[in-house]
Amino acid sequence: MTKTEFIKAISEKTCMSKGVVDVFLEAVTDTLQEAFLQGEDVTVSNLGKFTCKTREARMGRNPSTGEAMHIPSHKTVTFKIAKNLKDTLNHSENHELSTAES
């Protein structure tokens, strides 16, 4: 799903204009970025937890040449899915598989 499709889907579910939903989505993105820059985790009930982590510097290899190279430390965001969403996805997947097998 692209950003445009996402905005359209939310707009249809909420009866809000696409412009308002776009502004809201930008505000959510900006707020997440600000939280990550401050080293904060963001937990959204029924969705999951976003955590900003720092990956340490390390030595790696260039896959093309095999030459050793230094990979600098960098920040990344991880996501841990909420239990109820995970259960919903797995139940839905199992239901689809059992229906397809019948």
Q: Max Cα separation, the chain?
A: 55
Structurally, the chain folds into a number of domains equal to: 1
Please report the pLDDT score of residue 16 as a whole number: 95
Question: Which residues 6+ apart lie within 8 Å of 92 measured at CB?
Answer: none
Could you tell me if 32 and 40 are in contact, meaning their C-beta atoms sit under 8 angstroms apart? no
Could you tell me if 2 and 13 are in contact, meaning their C-beta atoms sit under 8 angstroms apart? no
Mean pLDDT, range 29-53, rounded to an integer: 94
CATH code, 9: 4.10.520.10
Tally of helices (H runs) and strands (E runs) in the chain: 3, 5
Average pLDDT, the chain: 90
Express as a percent the part of the chain with pLDDT over 90: 87
Range of the structural domain that residue 96 is part of: 3-101
How many CB atoms sit inside 10 A of residue 24's CB?
14
Sign of CA dihedral 31, 33, 34, 35: positive
pTM > 0.95: yes or no? no
Q: Using one digit for the tens of pLDDT, what is the confidence trace for 65-76?
A: 999 999 999 999
